Amino acid sequence: MRGLLAERAELLVWLALPRRTVMRQVVRRTLLRLHPRVLRDVTSVRTATTVLGTPVDTPVLVAPTAAQHVVAPGGAVATAFGAAKAGSLVCVSCLTNQPYTEIRDTGAPWWAQVYVLRDRGLTRDLVARAEAAGAAALVLTVDTPVVGDRPHPGPASDAPWYGGHLLPTAVPGDVAIATDLTFDDITWLREISRLPVVVKGVLRADDALSAVRAGARAVVVSNHGGRQLDVAVPTATALPGIARALTGTGAETYVDGGLRSGVHVLAALALGARAVLLGRPVLWALATGGADNVQRLLSTVTAELRHAMTLVGARSPDEITPDLAGPVDTAGAQPPG
């Protein structure tokens, strides 16, 4: 028990450490101002949408976060139960100790995160497991050729819970992340699976376009929660240009990082995201109340989003358009665009 508590404390401290990019993620979202419409019939406001064709009750999704079983009993399965109750979708980290079949049995729609490993045979096996268990998409994380320079090393990569049941026969050296990852690996994932590929960790419009041209169906604008490259551009800054670049391609754009309220979600949708992913807040909810608190978090943020939509005159996510949001220096001026 003491060992588990120590690991839990280590993980939560690791996630809470102040970094400039982490802090700027949240600060940047406070520098947006909304330009509400008035005299709109908002008797009925709904948050339901689709992501890659999967219906969800909310555009507030769950980001992949590793080793959730260290945070609370049940780990990723508890998170999936909470997401299912909230009508959301969960992206399951490949660094979990729980089989994909247990995620499937929660009833939540889910995507499987993928790191391409140096031993691509292990990646192929993991993809096959995910597809067989009913994953609706593969989420390829591309911003971690090496782990960022962090002031605290975080949980060791060879800890007993790292990797877990998904790769039970692998030795630590086999599961090292590939440093030779290229856009060709998007094509490769499409060749070994029938699942759509979402590319997570994109901060540049040209990279987003290249990913889509290689076969990605969506991108997640993400800087890994600000934990990889300090002073990397905040996702709220990168999002509008990427969303504009992908207009007309048929690809969807999602975003994570620094989202702490329904108003933040509304602004992200106005800036071009189809959905958002929450990471740290979900872990905090899981740690303090398991599946029920995960549901409460997602439902609360969704309720805040619905309330904000009512106040800006948007009856559905499709009515959340770029003219509703602008930087702080446009407050009181004409909407952007």
Residue by residue, DSSP assigns 36-70 as ---S---SS----EEETTEEES-SEEE---S-HHH
Candidates 206, 249, 193, 243; CA nearest to 221 is 243
Tell me if residue 224 is catalytic.
yes
Extents of the domains making up the chain: 2-32+49-322
Per-residue tokens: 219: 């991108």
CATH for the 2-32+49-322 domain, from 3.40.30.10, 3.30.750.200, 1.10.260.40, 3.20.20.70 = 3.20.20.70
Instruction: Confirm whether pTM is higher than 0.75.
Output: yes
- The pLDDT tens digits for 168-187 are 566 666 667 889 999 999 99
CA torsion through residues 120, 122, 128, 131, sign: negative
Low-confidence ranges of the chain (pLDDT < 50): 1-2, 4-5, 9, 21, 23, 25, 27-28, 154-164, 330-337
Residue 44's Cβ-count burial label (10 Å; 0-12, 13-18, 19+) is: exposed
- Beta 252-256 vs 218-221: how paired, if at all? parallel
* Among 152, 224, 264, 307, the one annotated catalytic: 224
- Can you tell me whether residue 237 is helix, strand or coil? helix
- Beta carbons within 8 Å of 148's beta carbon, 6+ residues apart: 224, 227, 228, 229, 230
